[in-house]
Chains A and B, each alone.
Chain A
Amino acid sequence: MATLRTDCEGFHRRDFLTVGSAGALGLTLPGFLAAEAKAKAANRDVAGGKSKAKSVILVWLAGGPATIDMWDNKPEAPEGIRGEFKNINTNVTGIQLSETLPKMAAVTDKVTVVRSLYHTIPSHGPATVFMTTGNKPTAALQYPAMGSLTAKLLKTELGVPPYVTFTDLRNGSAGLAGYLGTGFNPFVIEGGGGRGANAGFSVRGLTLKGTFTLEDLEKRDTLLRKFDGGFAGLDKSNDLVGGLDTFHQQALDILRSDRTRKALDITSEKSAVREMYGVTPFGQGALAARRLIESGVRFATVSLGGWDTHNGTFARHKNNLMPPLDQVLSTLIKDLDDRGMLDSTIVMCAGEFGRTPKINKNTGRDHWARSMACVLAGGGFKRGYAHGTTDASGMAPATEPCTPDDIASSIFHNLGIDPLMEMQTPTGRPIQLFREGKVIEKILA
């Protein structure tokens, strides 16, 4: 049903939903309209030449990591601020990291460490939204996560979900499609990734499970077709009915394709590789993410929780948090590079905010958004580079301050999408991808 929509820009001739014509594809997995293809071609020009990156892996550190004890460790800071960790040299002259990151120190020549990131929201929910959407949350509009934007704007091959997540961010309140509509929400990966029975992963809705086989599906679908004549007279003229028909066909194509299932079958990976990643859900998830990217997924989110260290920061970093992060992140980056995939894959490692430079009475650090660090690797970002600095106490950026909007803009620039490209909300309001963002030229390779 086409309706007139009005907005700040005036009018839009047609709604987003004109299923039955080309519109149906706008909501599909390989969602890609010819019109968008053209827009993107133009965007590539704007972004300056060909895109560097094709896909993104977001390593999400839920809870807000104390980056002041990690990527921007300050052993020289005053008492009460400096943490318990020493700095170590990395394989890049002039860049030091905390001693809790020995393996990352050996791959620092492959990454950009952004030390001058900041924002102003020290609250988990909205800060997570800010960091994962590149837009400061507002009451008026739900911004889509970067993953949903890639699902909408990048081409994906049939049978492969464009955007997957191994975990619901903030209980499913972040990481979603917002104004793009439910069709661009992430596909959720299920499964433990541990040893033995829990080793397997599957994508919710994309993988047949248990005793329900492809053969059963085909048999039942044959039956279904015999009972689905109810709207026969409407099919051609009705957008909704025709649209559902199209999706049904696509669903079958996807279920018949084994691309995703094969990608998720990490048991086919050499056991040495699996061990390298660590046999934990986080490690095996990162491995599965790499395999999914290889098979054509555009955006994958893996997550490690527990970073909300209001007490015992140092013990928890040392014993629980840093060893798996150091191992998994360094392995992922190295593995991607070894396979020649790092140049086309962006790895972003960040949480929602940093933590207070001042250590609290429980030897913890509290929420602090005014300074934080994140890591960007591959996909057109510089190798072996530290961007910006914080002041001596780590309270705020001292040089090259940048915001989540800037990070998102830079990522999309590298994906060949104009960060200022205009999208439309369901009410027809034109909205730029990252209105406040500026591409950080200095971190581009």
Chain B
Amino acid sequence: MSRHLSYALAFCLFAPAVASAQVALPTGGTLKQADFERHIMGLVSKVGCNSGSCHGSFQGKGGFRLSLFGYEPSMDYTALSRDNLGRRINLVNPEESLVLSKATGQVAHDGGMRFGKDTWVYNVFREWIRSGAKWTPGSGKIEKLEVIPGEFALLTDNKPLQLRVNAKFADGSTEDITPFCDFKISDDSIASLTPLGLLTPLQPGDAGLTVLYRGSVQALRVLVPSPGRPGDYPKVPEVNFIDTEVFAKLKRMNVIPSDVAPDDMFLRRAYIDLIGQLPTAEEVRAFLADKSPKKREKLIDKLLEHPLHAALWATKLSDVTGNNTQALENPVQTQPRRSQMWQDWLRKRIAENSPYDQLVRDIVTATSRDGKSPEEWVEFVKKIDEQSVKNFTTDYPEKKTLDLFWRRQQQVPIEIWGEKVAVAFMGIRLECAQCHKHPTDRWTQEEYWAFANLFSSVTFTNNQYSDPSVKKIVDAENTARKGENAKNNQILLVREMFVSDRGRGKPNPATGTVPTPKALGGPEIVAGRGEDARVKLAEWITAPDNAFFARSFVNRVWAHYFGIGLINPVDDFSMANPPTNARLLEALANEFVKSGFDIRKLEKNILMSRTYQLDYATNTTNKFDTNNFSHAYVRPLMAEQVVDVLNSALGVTESFSTQDGGAPAGTKVIEVGTSRISNQSLAYALRIFGRPPRTTACDCERAAEPALPQVLFRMTDTSILAKFTDKNGRVAEWAKSKLTDEELVEELFLSTLSRLPNATEKAEAVKHLAETNGRQTAITDLVWALVNTREFILNH
């Protein structure tokens, strides 16, 4: 029996039982004719059939495999209509179709019941089958997805709002496909959202909302303004364009920003954010006493030029660029020194305020020789090696480019270079597209491999050199060194990182062909003989009109100073993750490009803004705000800052093992490059406070969440307790001092919380000093209590 005949039969037999083949849609209107691509594929995704853990898995599930997220309608049509002897679909008796009896749980289904028998979803499937289960290839090709109400869904007066999604298809038709979309909201405490796109406001705030329809993504923001009469909104002074954009959005949401932070709060925040240290008691006193109206600006300028400011950013950029000590080349004992060179290379550029685009070009296009002659280069390598054995610092930062970025012990697959470069300098996470189209972004598998192939010529292997003449000189050097080896095994073999003509691209596994190297969403880049594809790539990345380069960096800087990015997480620029304040991101990026990628100017703009200098204390309109910067956010410290700040408060220094890159005692942790620390207590502290091992190409490694061991560490760890009893430490110094109880208590508060005690705190502390036997014991108790407060361990 032909399919058509059976269809005709089915129609004759069963049509009278059903009033109409039209299906009433839950968001209004009726569906006249169910279409495979437009409706069935939409529902297959919406009810989750083709997710990675179900039938979308590459192995399928229960013998039934669908394409992941429904990117291949032809495969899915075959799977539904032909495989399994066609039992999945029963044209004669649609309700007997296996696909329906499974999905409704009438027949045992590992995936459980996906929808009920009396639902519109069921009706769509049934009517599609009843009408012959046809597929018109290309019928659902999407031109454009339009979400109403556009960029923002403003929910006022506690009124719900139904989203509408219109799809414009390639055949020119437009259809309201709202119920076939998948809707997600980033924070369901702000507004509830039904699977059909009905929003109901819950509390004032700002959440991201994403609409997914068969691989197309649209994102918008859901705004629930604070209640209150707009007429009462005060005039808030603005310092610069940052305030203009932040306060404009706040006004729209009827959220009134907090007041400006008092001097002591601002001072502590700036010290921690800018140099990772605490101000001393004297510095707090001096700042509070300073009557100059420009004192905040003076402080910002001073801290921006502080050597530790560059160290702090070198640490952050070491994370971003993946300065993972374990992964560097052998011998093992040289790895920490190489990590230090990496850190110091970055530090020098931040200290000199090198333009950011130049800094990135010098990483992306790095080679070992930087165009030096083989002799000059080998001499340079020898000098660096000798310095690194004796000293903490070397001349490596003088080198033009950061070849260490590309020098790893294990061969790095080219696609991993692609992922690293994309996430580090553009904030794009590509990894999903390695195996399939990125589900919530534009990247295809073809683009993934085309980008990977830009790195096919990067070479760093034993006994390979860019030129025979290099090989000759290196061989001679290595032979000479082998002789010396017995005396000094610290000296390294000379290895060169270069770009070779012999690199070969990798095929896209889906097609089996090797894609031409291509920038992400950019031009093809074909390198001629002797050319380095990375040079053109770097030009493309750092071009002023690159959509990601400036934005991703200003977002990282913003996230550092506010604890949360305008795009969050900072390394997730994707279509499904819109910025909380797009105009601000745009303005920051534009200013940054206009300034010639001047990092310090960018920082100063941020630091001078009223927004940065707001109080953390909230008012009734902004207490729920977590992403619009209406008050300073309380936020955790970086692991390195934790140790440095504790040391700062307790007046002690850290000591390092000789295996830690030769750091002298007293070096601050934010100055240390190695990610492998031999000082056990320090390594332990850094581990539990979440210093990243820098193994993966992802900022997400730096764990910011609090954990119980961190609390226990501050309370009981022997290495902390030893810092209290250090005979050169501040506790010992205080115990010997001639200060009165009142003076001493002030000193303790200023040194730890960077503020004076309030009256009650002061009275309690003085009482404790008076009632406790032994001044050192009493002081230890007090300082222990102070460093274990939440106020101490969180920046605010």
Binding site for B on A (CB under 8 A): 1-11, 13-14, 16-17, 19, 27-29, 125, 139-142, 171-173, 176, 181-183, 185, 187-188, 204-210, 212, 216-217, 219-221, 223-224, 226-228, 230-231, 233-234, 237-238, 240-241, 243-245, 247-248, 250-251, 254-255, 422, 425-427, 429-430, 432
**Most chain A beta-carbon neighbours within 10 Å: one of B326, B436, B753:** B326
Distance from B327 Cβ to chain A, minimum over Cβ atoms (Å): 8
Q: Are A231 and B790 in contact (CB under 8 A)?
A: yes
Give the contacts of B62-88 with A (CB-CB under 8 A): 69
Q: Are A255 and B184 in contact (CB under 8 A)?
A: no
- A9, B438: Cα distance in complex, Å: 10
A224 touching B184 in the complex, CB below 8 Å, given contacts A17-B705, A183-B709, A205-B712: no
- A248, B186: Cα distance in complex, Å: 29
- A98, B536: Cα distance in complex, Å: 62
A207 nearest in chain B by CB position: B716
- A142, B794: Cα distance in complex, Å: 27
**Most chain B beta-carbon neighbours within 10 Å: one of A6, A142, A206, A429:** A6
- A237, B701: Cα distance in complex, Å: 26
Q: Are A224 and B616 in contact (CB under 8 A)?
A: no
Q: Are B412 and A139 in contact (CB under 8 A)?
A: yes
A247 touching B711 in the complex, CB below 8 Å, given contacts A10-B182, A234-B618: yes
A238 nearest in chain B by CB position: B634
- When distances are taken between beta carbons in the complex, the residues of chain A under 8 Å from B782 are 223
A244 touching B793 in the complex, CB below 8 Å, given contacts A4-B576, A208-B716: yes
Give the contacts of B738-791 with A (CB-CB under 8 A): 753, 757, 760-761, 764-765, 768, 781-782, 784-786, 788-791
Q: Are A212 and B716 in contact (CB under 8 A)?
A: yes
Distance from B779 Cβ to chain A, minimum over Cβ atoms (Å): 12
From A10, A187, A228, give the contact of B184 (CB < 8 A). Answer: A10
Q: Are B698 and A183 in contact (CB under 8 A)?
A: no
Instruction: Tell me whether B623 is interfacial, beta carbon within 8 Å.
Output: yes
Q: Are A1 and B188 in contact (CB under 8 A)?
A: no
Q: Are A19 and B706 in contact (CB under 8 A)?
A: yes
- A339, B633: Cα distance in complex, Å: 53
Q: Are B705 and A27 in contact (CB under 8 A)?
A: yes
From A10, A139, A247, A429, give the contact of B706 (CB < 8 A). Answer: A247
Give the contacts of B173-223 with A (CB-CB under 8 A): 182, 184-189, 207-208, 210, 212
- A243, B703: Cα distance in complex, Å: 15
8 sample A-B contacts, Cβ–Cβ < 8 Å, listed by A number: A2-B189, A6-B441, A13-B185, A125-B326, A183-B708, A231-B616, A255-B715, A255-B716
Distance from B290 Cβ to chain A, minimum over Cβ atoms (Å): 24
From B52, B676, B716, give the contact of A430 (CB < 8 A). Answer: B52
Number of B interface residues in the complex (CB < 8 A): 95
B790 nearest in chain A by CB position: A244
Q: Are A139 and B695 in contact (CB under 8 A)?
A: yes
Distance from B747 Cβ to chain A, minimum over Cβ atoms (Å): 15
- When distances are taken between beta carbons in the complex, the residues of chain B under 8 Å from A6 are 210, 439-441, 572, 574, 576-577
B689 nearest in chain A by CB position: A182
Q: Are B703 and A181 in contact (CB under 8 A)?
A: yes
Instruction: Tell me whether B627 is interfacial, beta carbon within 8 Å.
Output: yes
Q: Are A248 and B711 in contact (CB under 8 A)?
A: yes
Distance from A124 Cβ to chain B, minimum over Cβ atoms (Å): 11
- A252, B292: Cα distance in complex, Å: 46
- When distances are taken between beta carbons in the complex, the residues of chain A under 8 Å from B184 are 4, 10-11, 13
- When distances are taken between beta carbons in the complex, the residues of chain B under 8 Å from A228 are 788-791
A142 touching B791 in the complex, CB below 8 Å, given contacts A188-B684, A230-B753: no
- A237, B621: Cα distance in complex, Å: 13
- A167, B620: Cα distance in complex, Å: 51
Instruction: Tell me whether B635 is interfacial, beta carbon within 8 Å.
Output: yes
- A29, B757: Cα distance in complex, Å: 34
- A233, B190: Cα distance in complex, Å: 21
Q: Are B794 and A241 in contact (CB under 8 A)?
A: yes
Instruction: Tell me whether B353 is interfacial, beta carbon within 8 Å.
Output: no
Q: Are B618 and A233 in contact (CB under 8 A)?
A: yes
Instruction: Tell me whether B535 is interfacial, beta carbon within 8 Å.
Output: no
Instruction: Tell me whether B617 is interfacial, beta carbon within 8 Å.
Output: yes
Q: Are B696 and A141 in contact (CB under 8 A)?
A: yes
A205 touching B790 in the complex, CB below 8 Å, given contacts A1-B627, A251-B715, A427-B698: no
- When distances are taken between beta carbons in the complex, the residues of chain A under 8 Å from B753 are 230
Instruction: Tell me whether B671 is interfacial, beta carbon within 8 Å.
Output: no
Q: Are B416 and A140 in contact (CB under 8 A)?
A: yes
A226 touching B705 in the complex, CB below 8 Å, given contacts A3-B186, A234-B616: no
Give the contacts of B658-688 with A (CB-CB under 8 A): 676, 678, 683-684, 687-688
From B695, B705, B781, give the contact of A183 (CB < 8 A). Answer: B705
From B627, B705, B718, give the contact of A16 (CB < 8 A). Answer: B705
- When distances are taken between beta carbons in the complex, the residues of chain A under 8 Å from B688 are 182, 185
- When distances are taken between beta carbons in the complex, the residues of chain B under 8 Å from A7 are 432, 439-440
- When distances are taken between beta carbons in the complex, the residues of chain A under 8 Å from B693 are 142, 173
Q: Are B708 and A223 in contact (CB under 8 A)?
A: no
B718 nearest in chain A by CB position: A209
Distance from A28 Cβ to chain B, minimum over Cβ atoms (Å): 6
Q: Are B572 and A8 in contact (CB under 8 A)?
A: no
Q: Are A9 and B708 in contact (CB under 8 A)?
A: no
- A16, B412: Cα distance in complex, Å: 31
Instruction: Tell me whether B548 is interfacial, beta carbon within 8 Å.
Output: no
Q: Are A427 and B569 in contact (CB under 8 A)?
A: yes
Q: Are A182 and B701 in contact (CB under 8 A)?
A: no
From A2, A17, A19, A208, give the contact of B186 (CB < 8 A). Answer: A2
- A171, B634: Cα distance in complex, Å: 34
Distance from B484 Cβ to chain A, minimum over Cβ atoms (Å): 24
- A4, B753: Cα distance in complex, Å: 34
- A165, B701: Cα distance in complex, Å: 22
B719 nearest in chain A by CB position: A204
**When each residue 572-591 of chain B gets 1 if its CB lies under 8 Å from chain A and 0 otherwise, what string results?**
10101100000000000000
A19 touching B182 in the complex, CB below 8 Å, given contacts A185-B687, A205-B712, A247-B711: no
Instruction: Tell me whether B163 is interfacial, beta carbon within 8 Å.
Output: no
- A226, B94: Cα distance in complex, Å: 72
Q: Are A182 and B697 in contact (CB under 8 A)?
A: no
Distance from B790 Cβ to chain A, minimum over Cβ atoms (Å): 5
Q: A5-B572, A11-B184, A142-B695 are in contact. List 14 more A-B contacts (CB 8 A).
A: A5-B569, A8-B52, A10-B212, A13-B184, A13-B186, A181-B705, A182-B707, A220-B784, A234-B616, A237-B624, A241-B790, A243-B705, A244-B711, A255-B712
- When distances are taken between beta carbons in the complex, the residues of chain B under 8 Å from A171 are 676, 678
Distance from B643 Cβ to chain A, minimum over Cβ atoms (Å): 14
From B182, B431, B617, B717, give the contact of A429 (CB < 8 A). Answer: B431
Instruction: Tell me whether B227 is interfacial, beta carbon within 8 Å.
Output: no
- When distances are taken between beta carbons in the complex, the residues of chain A under 8 Å from B210 are 4, 6, 11
Give the contacts of B605-627 with A (CB-CB under 8 A): 616-618, 623-624, 626-627
- A316, B794: Cα distance in complex, Å: 52
Q: Are A27 and B53 in contact (CB under 8 A)?
A: no
B763 nearest in chain A by CB position: A226
Instruction: Tell me whether B127 is interfacial, beta carbon within 8 Å.
Output: no
- When distances are taken between beta carbons in the complex, the residues of chain B under 8 Å from A188 are 684
- When distances are taken between beta carbons in the complex, the residues of chain B under 8 Å from A426 are 698, 700-701, 703
- When distances are taken between beta carbons in the complex, the residues of chain B under 8 Å from A223 are 764-765, 768, 781-782, 784-785
In the A-B complex, list the 4 residue pairs whose CB atoms are closest, starting with the nearest. Answer: A4-B186, A230-B791, A183-B707, A205-B712
Q: Are B626 and A2 in contact (CB under 8 A)?
A: yes
Distance from B716 Cβ to chain A, minimum over Cβ atoms (Å): 6
**Most chain A beta-carbon neighbours within 10 Å: one of B440, B568, B678, B708:** B708
A1 nearest in chain B by CB position: B626
From B439, B572, B712, give the contact of A10 (CB < 8 A). Answer: B439
- A422, B623: Cα distance in complex, Å: 36
Instruction: Tell me whether B307 is interfacial, beta carbon within 8 Å.
Output: no
- When distances are taken between beta carbons in the complex, the residues of chain B under 8 Å from A224 are 784-786, 788-789
- When distances are taken between beta carbons in the complex, the residues of chain A under 8 Å from B326 are 125, 173
Q: Are B708 and A250 in contact (CB under 8 A)?
A: yes
A224 nearest in chain B by CB position: B785
- When distances are taken between beta carbons in the complex, the residues of chain A under 8 Å from B768 are 223
Q: Are B577 and A244 in contact (CB under 8 A)?
A: no
